[in-house]
Structure 1
Amino acid sequence: MKGYVSIPNSIYTKPCKYCGARPIIALTSHIDYVVRCPNSDTHYKTQPGLIDVEDWNIHNTLLYERDKISNRY
């Protein structure tokens, strides 16, 4: 057994804001799951419990791009 489940493409998920990977569902204990990045444990993961794709999407939204906009006039 792999220890994780790939999220089907029919479910909308935002990619990881650090590496661009599609999230996975991982089992943390006998009954708790997390949605996390498959590439790194240091990237964002949801709290253990129910599968919370909405929380993943909220935390992986880029609100603005830093350092690309010059404030020179």
Structure 2
Amino acid sequence: MKGYVNIPKNIYVKRCKDCGARPIIALIDEGAYAVKCPVSDTHYHTKPGLIDLEDWNQNNPSSNDYNLNTMSTI
């Protein structure tokens, strides 16, 4: 097992503010997960525990976000 899960593309998450990578869900300890950047351990990551996408989105204000204006016409 690889120790992490890719977040499905249909779930909105902001990209890493440092490198622009889409985050992953990593298994930290048995039953504890963190949302983190797949590129570097020094980039922002959530505290180990439940999967907290809201914390990730609040702490990654980046210019690499999806353009939701183009999606509003769908």
TM-score normalised by structure 2 residue count = 0.82
Task: Please give the alpha-carbon distance, in whole angstroms, between the structure 1 residues aligned to 2:18 and 2:61.
Answer: 11
Higher relative contact order (CA 8 A, sep 6+): 2
Partner of 1:71 in structure 2? none
- After TM superposition, the structure 1 = structure 2 runs for residues 15-54 of structure 1, keeping only pairs within 5 Å, are 15-54=15-54
- After TM superposition, the structure 1 = structure 2 runs for residues 6-21 of structure 1, keeping only pairs within 5 Å, are 6-21=6-21
Measured against aligned partners, the alpha-carbon deviations of 1:12-52 in whole angstroms (never above 9, x if no partner) come to 00000000000000000011000000000000000110000
Q: Which amino acid aligns with 1:44?
A: Y
TM-score normalised by structure 1 residue count = 0.83
Q: Unaligned 5+ residue runs, structure 1?
A: 63-73
Q: Which amino acid aligns with 2:46?
A: T
Percent of aligned positions with the same letter in both sequences?
A: 66
- Look at both structures and tell me which one has the larger radius of gyration over its CA atoms: 1
Instruction: Give the total of aligned pairs.
Output: 63
> Cα RMSD (Å) of the superposition?
1.2
Q: Unaligned 5+ residue runs, structure 2?
A: 63-74
